[in-house]
Structure 1
Amino acid sequence: MPFDHNDHYHPLLLRQVPPNCGAALDVGCGTGRFARRLAHLGIAVDAIDPSEEAIAEARALSGRTAGDPIPRFQHTDITDIELPKGHYDFISCLASIHHMPFDTVAALREALAPGGVLVILGCYPEKSRLDWAWSLAAVPVNAVARLTVAVKDRLRPVSAATGRERVRAPVKQPAMPLLRIRGEAAVLLPGCDIRRLLFWRYLLVFRNHG
């Protein structure tokens, strides 16, 4: 299993889950790894993805152990459905928002319950000198992380290699620069916080104080 930048940030994202979270939505869930982590917290999780193959794999990978909490996986595009207003305590988008119009976040905002949290682990293209500086800083760290994972993978018993994900979610290159993301988010998600992360990612956190 190669080093996965999105999986690396799962602990950071899980720390944003509000107390007593009852319902969550994972948008662009892929093969469902983060959705399953949410479900293991005792949260009722809806997980959606436009890739039929990824959803099929997510279902196949879930519930392998008796009693395992299973997210409700649905093959659909977030732009094709109407979300329940004020329903979710937590909504996550992991490297998926650039696959859809950014103003989709308005619908996600409306689906948050009072006190709910929207988190976006987003990707952005390098456009500015600062972007390239962060990118260059990430390269050696990324190389070390990949090497570490490769070594652990070689040392792992053969039996531990069974049941791995065979499908990867479709990949699309991001097009919206971080500066523009900040500008649009300020309008659509007033009061949100955006910060750069090392591995070509940014973290956006919006809390519904309404």
Structure 2
Amino acid sequence: MPFDHNDHYHRLLLRHLPRPCGRALDVGCGTGTFARRLAGLGIDVDAIDPSAEAIAAARALSARTPGDRAPNWRQADVTAVELPGGRYDFISCLASLHHMPFGTVAALRDALAPGGVLVVLGLYVARTPLDHALSLAAVPVNAAARSAVAVRERLRPPSAAAGRTRVRAPVRAPALSLPEIRAEAAALLPGAVIRRLLFWRYLLVFRRAG
């Protein structure tokens, strides 16, 4: 399995879990790697993705470990459903927000319980000199990480790769620059903290008052 930029940041995202955390929503869950990780912590997880193929793969992967707690998988477009207000202690959105209008975060904000946390691992358009410098700096790090993963994969026994499910994720280039994302977030998620990350990503963290 190749190096995954989103999986690389799972530990960082989990640092922002509120305590306690009873229920979570993973938006654009794909094949469910992060959703299963949340469920493994004893959290009730709703995982949503518009791709029927991705949800089918997520269910199949969960079925291979029947003793584990499984998320509630749902095929749906989060922009086309009504989320229950004040329901979730934690909402995650990994590399999926740029597939929808940024204003979707308003619905995610309203779905947070008091004290709940929204984390977005997002992509942005590189436009400033700093953006381009960080993009350039990420190239050798990315190459080294991919090489390390490739070596590790070659050392695994053939049985370790059996039954792996591969789903081609939809690709869409981000439309907003980081300054534009900061401006949108300031209006819709007052108090949100945004920081740049390597691998062409940013982290947004918003905590609902309460």
Q: TM-score range by the shorter chain?
A: over 0.9
Q: What is the alpha-carbon distance in structure 2 between the residues aligned to residue 75 and residue 198 of structure 1? A: 30
Counterparts of 1:121-160 in structure 2 under 5 Å?
121-160=121-160
**What CA deviation, in whole Å up to 9, does each residue of 1:6-35 have, x standing for no partner?**
000011111111111000000000010000
Report the equivalent of 2:162: 162
Q: What is the alpha-carbon distance in structure 2 between the residues aligned to residue 56 and residue 173 of structure 1? A: 25
Q: What is the alpha-carbon distance in structure 1 between the residues aligned to residue 165 and residue 57 of structure 2? A: 7
Counterparts of 1:33-52 in structure 2 under 5 Å?
33-52=33-52
What's the CA shift for 1:195?
0.1
Counterparts of 1:1-210 in structure 2 under 5 Å?
1-210=1-210
Letter in 2 for 1:82: E
**What CA deviation, in whole Å up to 9, does each residue of 1:120-169 have, x standing for no partner?**
00001211111100001101111100000000010011111123222132
What's the CA shift for 1:67?
1.6
What's the CA shift for 1:66?
3.1
What's the CA shift for 1:197?
0.3
State the SS of the aligned residue for 1:119. Answer: strand
- Taking only aligned residues, the RMSD between alpha carbons, in angstroms, comes to 0.8
Letter in 2 for 1:165: T
**What CA deviation, in whole Å up to 9, does each residue of 1:17-61 have, x standing for no partner?**
111100000000001000000000000000000111111111111
Q: What is the alpha-carbon distance in structure 1 between the residues aligned to residue 90 and residue 104 of structure 2? A: 16
What's the CA shift for 1:64?
1.5
Structure 1 unaligned blocks of 5 or more: none
Q: What is the alpha-carbon distance in structure 1 between the residues aligned to residue 126 and residue 79 of structure 2? A: 27
Q: What is the alpha-carbon distance in structure 1 between the residues aligned to residue 89 and residue 172 of structure 2? A: 28
Letter in 2 for 1:112: L
Letter in 2 for 1:73: W
State the SS of the aligned residue for 2:166. Answer: coil
Q: What is the alpha-carbon distance in structure 2 between the residues aligned to residue 130 and residue 205 of structure 1? A: 22
Does the CA-based 8 Å contact 1:30-1:168 persist in structure 2?
no
State the SS of the aligned residue for 2:173. Answer: coil
What's the CA shift for 1:172?
1.1
Letter in 1 for 2:161: A
State the SS of the aligned residue for 2:168. Answer: coil
Letter in 2 for 1:117: V
State the SS of the aligned residue for 1:3. Answer: coil
Letter in 2 for 1:60: A
What's the CA shift for 1:110?
0.4
Letter in 2 for 1:57: A
Q: What is the identity percentage for the equivalent residue pairs of Structure 1 and Structure 2?
A: 73
Q: What is the alpha-carbon distance in structure 1 between the residues aligned to residue 79 and residue 70 of structure 2? A: 24
Structure 2 unaligned blocks of 5 or more: none
* TM superposition outliers: structure 1 runs of 4+ over 4 Å: none
TM-score (normalised: structure 1) = 0.98
State the SS of the aligned residue for 1:91. Answer: strand
What's the CA shift for 1:175?
1.1
